[in-house]
Amino acid sequence: MPIYTCTTAQGALTADAKRALATEITRIHAEINHVPPAYVHVVFSEPPQDSVYVPGEPGAPLLIGGWVRRRHPQEEAARLALELSAAAARVTGIPEQRILVVIQDGPARSAVEGGHVLPEPGQEKEWLSRHGA
């Protein structure tokens, strides 16, 4: 259900670090937002070093953007972002000072997976029993 996109300049993350980060994002999201790991998508975007600027100069941030269904409790959204930031620093070695995590939400009813409109937060169980893999 969720999609996470991790953006860094090319070469900032090893293949092992990418895999470890994907594993951590999947684990944390599944736990906090009650979604089976099989539904957590993580994509890495690694443009050349002259394509990432902060502030106005080539830089080396790690940007983690997530899309989640709207109406998860607000405290959980903050906890999700905080845990992702801490985990990303831990598994990549990039200092948290250079990590920005943004969780964006959108209506579940505007999203479709496996041919079915996604469930509202809290209605995952019924949806999974009807449509799950």
Give which of 67, 75, 55, 58 is closest to 25, Cα–Cα: 67
Q: Closest separation between CB of residue 125 and a second copy, Å?
A: 18
Is 128 among the residues that bind a second copy (CB under 8 A)?
A: no
Question: What φ, ψ does residue 5 adopt, rounded to 5°?
Answer: -120, 120
CA distance 88 to 95: 9
Is 85 among the residues that bind a second copy (CB under 8 A)?
A: yes
What is the pairing mode between strands 3-7 and 41-45? parallel
CA 12, 14, 16 angle in degrees (round to 5)?
145
Is 38 among the residues that bind a second copy (CB under 8 A)?
A: yes
Of 45, 71, 122, 125, which one interacts with a second copy (CB under 8 A)?
45
- Site residues for a second copy per CB under 8 A: 1, 3, 7, 15, 18-19, 22-23, 26-27, 30, 36-47, 50-56, 59, 61, 63, 65, 67, 74, 77-78, 80-82, 84-86, 89, 96-97, 99-107, 109-115, 117, 133
